[in-house]
């Protein structure tokens, strides 16, 4: 479903990512690991077309997307939950979620009912402003907004960063259900190694803008973690 070959990504004239390569099959979950500042978020932004320039090959669902604008990538079915959530504070919860439907080809503005099964609190707060909710609840809005577009691929950039532990557990359960029960293909940036080992079909480790290691969850050894993830 998603493949990168010899991928370089630039901010200005500087290549932040160099010679990135991976293949992600439909229905699988790929975790992206690495220390802070090594290029993980840049890889997520590159998939969404949010860096200045790319070289190499990036294909989604058999289509070359390297030169497509972000809006076209969303219309193809790529959903993105960035760091910081980017909820619009003055919009209601409902308005924030409905924004995701504008990337749907069917023109419907209906919120899929299963979203409220995943995040029941959002139904209760549907008419409250997004900025009035806690960080964890805003993360649930961000999930709901991305899911409202009915994505084929969901990109999650550290979705549990800075939120309360009880909601961290809920987010982990939702990610697991989306992948295993609903068959959604996922790219996940996550620092929680036990969770990564539990849910990942494969992983890549980024170090200094390059792929330093690849493998399945069984290959994610303590030695590899110590070498590439500890500070």
pLDDT of amino acid 78: 97
pLDDT tens-digit series, residues 108-145: 999 999 999 999 999 999 999 999 999 899 999 999 99
Pairing of strands 153-157, 78-81: parallel
Provide the sign of the torsion angle of the four alpha carbons 91, 80, 136, 184, taken in this order.
positive
205: nearest Cα among 230, 186, 224: 224
Residue pair 184/178 in contact (Cβ under 8 Å)? The answer is: yes
The residues, any chain, with a CB within 8 Å of residue 113's CB and separated by 6 or more, are none
**Length in residues, the chain:** 231
Residue pair 93/127 in contact (Cβ under 8 Å)? The answer is: yes
DSSP 53: E
Helix, strand, or coil here: 20?
Answer: strand
pTM over 0.85: yes
128 is written with which tokens? 């409250």
Can you name the residues that pair with 33 across neighbouring β-strands?
205
pLDDT tens-digit series, residues 197-212: 999 999 999 999 999 9
Question: Cα–Cα distance between 52 and 32 in angstroms, integer?
Answer: 21
- Specify the CATH architecture of the domain 2-87+151-228: 3-Layer(aba) Sandwich (3.40)
Q: pLDDT > 90: what percent of the chain?
A: 79
pLDDT of amino acid 191: 87
Mean pLDDT over the full length of the chain: 93
- For the chain, the domains span 2-87+151-228
Question: Cα–Cα distance between 22 and 7 in angstroms, integer?
Answer: 10
Question: Cα–Cα distance between 12 and 4 in angstroms, integer?
Answer: 21
Q: How many CB atoms lie within 10 A of CB 180?
A: 12
Angle, to 10 degrees, between the axis of helix 165-180 and the axis of helix 135-148?
A: 20
Q: How many CB atoms lie within 10 A of CB 92?
A: 17
């Amino acid at each position: 479903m998603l493949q990168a070959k010899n991928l370089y990504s630039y901010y200005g004239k500087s290549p932040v990512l160099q010679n990135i390569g991976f293949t992600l099959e439909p229905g699988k979950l790929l975790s992206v690991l690495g220390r802070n500042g090594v290029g993980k978020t840049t890889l997520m932004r590159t998939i969404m077309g949010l860096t200045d320039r790319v070289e190499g090959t990036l294909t989604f669902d058999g289509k070359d997307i390297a030169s497509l604008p972000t809006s076209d990538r969303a219309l193809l079915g790529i959903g993105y939950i960035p760091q910081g959530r980017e909820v619009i504070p003055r919009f209601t919860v409902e308005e924030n979620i409905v924004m995701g439907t504008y990337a749907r080809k069917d023109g419907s503005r209906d919120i899929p009912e299963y979203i409220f099964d995943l995040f029941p609190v959002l139904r209760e707060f549907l008419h409250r402003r997004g900025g009035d909710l806690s960080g964890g609840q805003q993360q649930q809005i961000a999930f709901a907004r991305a899911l409202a577009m009915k994505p084929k691929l969901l990109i999650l950039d550290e979705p549990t960063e800075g939120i309360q532990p009880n909601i961290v557990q809920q987010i982990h359960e939702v990610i697991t259900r989306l992948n295993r029960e609903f068959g959604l293909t996922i790219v996940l940036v996550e620092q929680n190694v036990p969770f990564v080992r539990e849910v990942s079909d494969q992983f890549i480790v980024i170090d200094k803008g390059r792929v330093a290691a690849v493998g399945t969850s069984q290959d994610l050894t303590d030695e590899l973690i110590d070498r590439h993830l500890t500070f």
